[in-house]
Structure 1
Amino acid sequence: MLIWLILIPMLAAALIGLAKAPARPTAILSAVLTLGLGIWAVSGFDAADTSFWTQIGGVSLQLTLAPALAKIMLILTLLVTFATVLGTKAPEGSKASWYNSALLISAGATGAFLSDNIIAFFSFHELALIPTFVMIGFFGRGDRRTIAWKATLYLGAASMVLLVGLILLGSQLGYTFSGIAASVAAGAPLEYGHAIAGLLLVGFGTLVSLFPFHSWAAPAYASAPTPVAMMHAGVLKKFGLYGLFMFASVLGNKIDIFAGWNNLLLICLLGNIIWVGYVTVNQKRLDYLLGNSSVMHMGYIFLAFAALVAANGHNEWAVKGAALLMLAHGISIALLFLFCGQIESQTRTLEIGALGGLGGKLPVMAFLFGLAGMASIGLPGLANFPGELCIFFSGFADWSASDITKCCLGLGPVQIATIVALWGLVISAIYMLRAYRNIFQGDLSRASDRAAGLTASDRAAAIFLAAMLVLFGMYPASILGFFA
């Protein structure tokens, strides 16, 4: 059954592109079918069919839902895909490209998150990147060609670095996650571990926009058409983080290959949280504010990974916190980019200074944007809060067992980084609350006066994602139960 989660969106894209099927209804039908199948799979109703295996060109394509993180990332992918195709409207003449981009990114992300073979895992991600570059280059805002080329060069180089690391690792321990775990359990040696860890961190880190390899991300999200921004920032960006935590899981005691890089990683992730956070505060356009905000919040999930490495792989808070925040961030940033596209279509501007009083014209959007914004800054009761809380706890969980030399006041580097990272909560509150005030409150601006109201599908997609933020915020056990 799992293969259909990939084939259905690919077949729908083929019907739209080749058979000229009606684009939006076909995309919505595909999203509904895959969402239903995905819920069935992760709920265990088809427990006998939670894996799929075949051989393609010498590479085994084995799909599995065994890892808890795979289930969570599948849920994220299907939720955001459904909201994307339901809540975005394609310009006339580009409907096929518009909806096919979301479907192909969804298929690629699903394949990556479900693949046991690390080469298939890599290849599915590359498949999902192609429509990202194409859509920015042809349908993006601003200097779209330059932005598309920059993203292509950054992510292409990162993929090559990552592929070298995967090959070096796979040639020694096996080319599947399950095979690597078995090899480690059998005591297989691993040479060049420090170099492999560096390659994985640079490759995955650049794909996730780890500081200082982050400068491609905010312009790409700001320029991207709404479905691409929602799918990439919400879903595909989690590929690198998913990869790091999956390798941490299967490497067992060999996770110490990352230990030599941990202090440098802490510096980089604080660059995401503090440096990029202050950059976000100074943004004048909503699309750039959201793009930089997304980059900033990746720092917290890297902090969880650093805490996991410092504890030699034994830090339950880190794994669960990262999983919760990846899911929550994906939903909240997708909802915010959905509103970003709707605001632009309604007012014909994304300049924060040109907006104002929009809440009086679009009260439903004002409420739901506020909810998504509060979720993104970690308000208790919404989905981001339990993930961030777990991550901050992870910085101090069993820290005395860390093999990193203690320093200032008896604290280790992870604990110091965790304390510094708390300031990011203040930064997030500043830029999000100020943006909300300037866009939705105050006197009605000329641009905001153009707003005519949301359609039923606009509201339905936004309410759907907002409901998920409330559900997972009030009941995080619904996700943490996968780790049982």
Structure 2
Amino acid sequence: MPETDLTWLSILVFLPAVCAAGLFVFPSKWTEGMRWWATFGAAGTLSIALCVVVGYYNLLDRRLDANGKPGHSVHTRLDNRADKAASDAAQPIPKKLDSDDWVARRAWISIFNIQYALGVDGISLPLVVLTALVVLLAIVASWNIQESVRGYLALILLLETGVIGAFLALDFFLFYVSYELMLLPMYVLIGLWGGGNRKFAALKFVIYTLLGGVCLLVAMLALYSVNARDFVDQAEVKQRALDSHKKNPHVALDDAANQVEVHTFDFVTLSKAGRAAALVLSGQEDRLAVKTAVVEEPNKDDDPSKVKLFAPGVDRDAALARLKSQPVCTKQFQYFVFALLFLGFAVKVPIVPLHSWLPDAHVEAPTPVSMILAGVLLKLGGYGLIRVAFPVCPWAAAELAWWVGLVGVVSIVYGALVAMGQTDFKKLLAYSSVSHMGFVVLGLASWGSATRSQYWQWGVDGAMFQMVAHGITASALFFIVGVVYDRAHHRDLNRFGGLKEPMPLYAGLSAILFFASMGLPGLCGFVGEFCVFMGAWNFSPALAVPAVASVILTAAYLLWTWQRVYFGTNPATKDFPELSPREAVCLLPFALLAIGLGVVPSLLLFNWMDPSVAGWIENMAPLKP
């Protein structure tokens, strides 16, 4: 019997793809049935995601800290759960696998040690739920699509499978496959259902995305060259030595064991190797220690200066010698791989100057596709930085933290300034996304020393919250543009005006989401930005000051846009109909979430994210003196 969590996570990933395949059973004339089928498929995916949330909360509730708060136990951290699952599977007689640790591993392509490995924590799970919600509402928003309905809906559902797969993957190869799976559906959605210049926008999207994908591929190959034998369960090493000895009996078993190399795409293992290399490169190799158990209980007698990374049973001196002899322990390797990972994910964030594909893609894409692009796909860039780039190459990340933060600040200010000069409603929101996602990069880069890790935790908490908040507000604002475009058939801000009179409900809901995007206290946009400001100020006031000042620019272009679209009188808009029930159903959940997460941010920040971010910080902060 498969593990329960393996079943749930696999259904969560592949249910949209199965529903996409089911669309081809419908006769071509049954477009209404296709729409309902896709809607129920997306709703089912959201339901499964919420069931996984309940299961994950049960895991947290079973492991309480000394203060009775969930999620801070060492047993709930994703890296420890992944280590335990790998250790159980590596035993000569595998132990009974844990069905509710929400980590699942199965061999996939054994010759390269590639695994079908999935797992959830407070960093990935909010983004999975956000994805399921945005895709569901985007499909509801797509009911006015008349051309090739079957192909359109199938591509959106296939896109959802790729996104959720990337958020849940614990194996770099699986992550890369899911990451690249999104390329084709988005290219076709923009190229076939987009505006007049759709072919150029789709081609530009593909070129930029492929550039990022190539960077990730080269980084993945470089990381696979790392011999991670001292960071995996030693039962696996012994088994490989025994297999080698059986094939070559003339080679002594001890010699065979010394020759064993373990190459992996596993994020957790690569992260441990990267952290060990960071200690060596920063002159702290004496702090490297061997774990006494796969998952170690906190002990008051432990030496706080020691960082236990080597697997239980490893000879420390031999392991250290093997580590220092590898390219991963060189500054050149660390800089090179981190640069590749950063560029690969920066294209998706996107950061300046790799952002120019985004305005073109948004302008030409249909409204529901823009909702998914802004609300979900951009988050893969930030998620990749926090899940892959920083943990796998922490030494380079620490050395370049200030410059990475500067890139974030440039994106914040540049995006806001350019947005002020736009007259196309969609293009303005596209540059607004560039600005808002810059806060994510700045928050992640606010890396202080181990003694000041609390401030960095605020920055990472803010980056995570900002991704969810921007996913809500950006998706909603692009839908708002779509509503008025369906009535006016243009997006020129200078030709709008007076929408408050004929469409009061539309104007009221829009006001909530405009002010949330602006970062008004009491709404979701404020919480993430405030946490980022706190982290950035304690990291570098020189970076924090322009980021804080950008709030004025954001308020300026959003308020000016609000005035041009909704205030005054305009004969051309006075007869526009109010929101339809379908349009209200799309917009109302976004408005409620914008208010709810702003008034009670602890629902997301402290209950979901912070425990996992705290574990992430505990791993990373000690690496910097």
Give the TM-score, by structure 2 length: 0.71
1:325 is matched with 466
CA deviation after TM superposition for structure 1 residue 182, in Å = 4.2
User: Does the CA-based 8 Å contact 2:341-2:389 persist in structure 1?
Assistant: no
Equivalent position to 2:587, from 459, 462, 468: 462
1:409 is matched with none
- Once residues 18 and 419 of structure 1 are traced to their aligned partners in structure 2, the CA distance between those partners, rounded to angstroms, is 57
Equivalent position to 1:175, from 265, 268, 278: 265
User: Does the CA-based 8 Å contact 2:390-2:397 persist in structure 1?
Assistant: no
2:34 is matched with 23
User: Does the CA-based 8 Å contact 2:338-2:389 persist in structure 1?
Assistant: no
1:89 is matched with 143
**2:18 paired with 1:11:** yes
CA deviation after TM superposition for structure 1 residue 313, in Å = 9.7
Highest Rg: 1 or 2? 2
1:178–1:290 Cα change, 3 Å = same
| Secondary structure at the counterpart of residue 376 of structure 1 | helix
Give the letter aligned to residue 421 of structure 2: N
| Secondary structure at the counterpart of residue 395 of structure 1 | helix
User: Does the CA-based 8 Å contact 1:241-1:301 persist in structure 2?
Assistant: yes
Question: Structure 1 regions of 5+ residues with no counterpart?
Answer: 400-413
1:127 is matched with 181
1:308–1:83 Cα change, 3 Å = farther
Question: Structure 2 regions of 5+ residues with no counterpart?
Answer: 1-7, 60-98, 229-263, 276-308, 311-319, 612-625
1:244 is matched with 385
- Once residues 3 and 12 of structure 1 are traced to their aligned partners in structure 2, the CA distance between those partners, rounded to angstroms, is 14
Deviations 1:183-224 (A, max 9, x none): 442265524011111111111111211111111111111111
2:487 is matched with 346
1:292–1:249 Cα change, 3 Å = closer
1:307–1:271 Cα change, 3 Å = same
Equivalent position to 2:415, from 273, 276, 279: 276
- Once residues 312 and 156 of structure 1 are traced to their aligned partners in structure 2, the CA distance between those partners, rounded to angstroms, is 40
**2:515 paired with 1:425:** no
CA deviation after TM superposition for structure 1 residue 130, in Å = 1.5
User: Does the CA-based 8 Å contact 2:348-2:377 persist in structure 1?
Assistant: no
CA deviation after TM superposition for structure 1 residue 444, in Å = 2.1
CA deviation after TM superposition for structure 1 residue 141, in Å = 1.5
1:402 is matched with none
Matches within 5 A, 1:66-465: 67-172=121-226, 173=228, 174-183=264-273, 184=275, 185-186=309-310, 188=323, 190-191=328-329, 192-247=333-388, 250-251=391-392, 255-308=394-447, 314=453, 315-397=456-538, 399=539, 414-446=540-572, 448-449=573-574, 451-465=576-590
| Secondary structure at the counterpart of residue 61 of structure 1 | strand
1:46–1:457 Cα change, 3 Å = farther
User: Does the CA-based 8 Å contact 1:72-1:323 persist in structure 2?
Assistant: no
Equivalent position to 1:53, from 81, 90, 105: 105
Deviations 1:127-167 (A, max 9, x none): 12211111111111131111111111111111101221122
1:341–1:313 Cα change, 3 Å = farther
Identity %, equivalent residues: 27
| Secondary structure at the counterpart of residue 217 of structure 1 | helix
Give the letter aligned to residue 477 of structure 2: L
Name the stretch that deviates more: 241-250 or 289-298.
241-250
- Once residues 449 and 343 of structure 2 are traced to their aligned partners in structure 1, the CA distance between those partners, rounded to angstroms, is 19
| Secondary structure at the counterpart of residue 196 of structure 2 | coil
- Once residues 311 and 300 of structure 1 are traced to their aligned partners in structure 2, the CA distance between those partners, rounded to angstroms, is 22
- Once residues 451 and 138 of structure 2 are traced to their aligned partners in structure 1, the CA distance between those partners, rounded to angstroms, is 39
1:405 is matched with none
CA deviation after TM superposition for structure 1 residue 231, in Å = 0.8
CA deviation after TM superposition for structure 1 residue 25, in Å = 0.6
Give the letter aligned to residue 212 of structure 1: P
Give the letter aligned to residue 11 of structure 2: W
- Once residues 368 and 224 of structure 2 are traced to their aligned partners in structure 1, the CA distance between those partners, rounded to angstroms, is 34
CA deviation after TM superposition for structure 1 residue 419, in Å = 0.8
1:476 is matched with 601
Give the letter aligned to residue 435 of structure 1: T
Q: How many residues are aligned here? A: 465
1:215–1:310 Cα change, 3 Å = farther
RMSD of aligned C-alpha atoms? 2.1
- Once residues 180 and 120 of structure 1 are traced to their aligned partners in structure 2, the CA distance between those partners, rounded to angstroms, is 15
- Once residues 295 and 274 of structure 1 are traced to their aligned partners in structure 2, the CA distance between those partners, rounded to angstroms, is 9
1:277–1:210 Cα change, 3 Å = same
Give the TM-score, by structure 1 length: 0.91
Give the letter aligned to residue 528 of structure 2: G
1:114–1:313 Cα change, 3 Å = farther
**2:56 paired with 1:2:** no
CA deviation after TM superposition for structure 1 residue 18, in Å = 4.9
CA deviation after TM superposition for structure 1 residue 87, in Å = 2.8
Give the letter aligned to residue 472 of structure 1: L
Give the letter aligned to residue 107 of structure 1: T
1:311–1:129 Cα change, 3 Å = farther
User: Does the CA-based 8 Å contact 1:357-1:444 persist in structure 2?
Assistant: yes
1:312–1:159 Cα change, 3 Å = farther
